[in-house]
Amino acid sequence: MYQNILVPVALDHNANVDAALQAAQVLRSEGGSITLLNVSEPIYAPASQYIPDGVLEENRQRNKAELSELAGSISGAKTKMLSGPPGVTITDYAEKNGVDLIIVASHRPGLQDYFLGSTAARVVRHANCAVHVVR
């Protein structure tokens, strides 16, 4: 059983998020914590000038509400929202916050994943703690 579980949640494509949350509840020790983490990738600077004022903040608030709703279904779960490259941000957060298990939902890999690598694959390769991949 694990004391500090991290569940990264990609709100733009919820691949097996329910299964990841169920696994987190089963694997959490009594008194353990579950954190749902949403990582948004930064907007490429030249493209940011074409985004209307307020849109990014609206999206952030909508994502925060959706993440809170997901966390509300789990007793004692907390949420965290960060910005950065997802794979790196997830593993850095886990290391800095004493996470002992990351449960990441993944899709079936396509051809592009063999060349670029998915976020789940990057987390598996670089995390300093146990990683459970749910498909």
- pLDDT for residue 13 is more than 90: no
Q: Nearest-CA neighbor of 5 among 63, 76, 69?
A: 76
**For residue 107, what are the domain limits?**
2-134
Looking at the structure of the chain, the number of domains it has is: 1
- pLDDT for residue 28 is more than 60: yes
CB contact at 8 A, 84 and 39: yes
Please identify which residue in the block is written with the tokens 């983490």: 37
Mean pLDDT of 117-134: 91
Buried b (16+ CB within 10 A) or exposed e, 35-45: bbbbbbeeeee
- Residue 12: the pLDDT is 80
End-to-end CA distance of the chain: 21
Cα-flanking dihedrals φ and ψ of residue 42, to 5°?
-65, 150
Segment holding 7, helix H or strand E: strand 2-8
pLDDT tens per residue across span 52-103: 888 989 999 999 999 999 999 899 899 999 999 999 999 999 999 999 999 9
Q: What is the CATH number of the domain that holds 110?
A: 3.40.50.620
- Residue 94: the pLDDT is 98
Whole-prediction pTM: 0.90
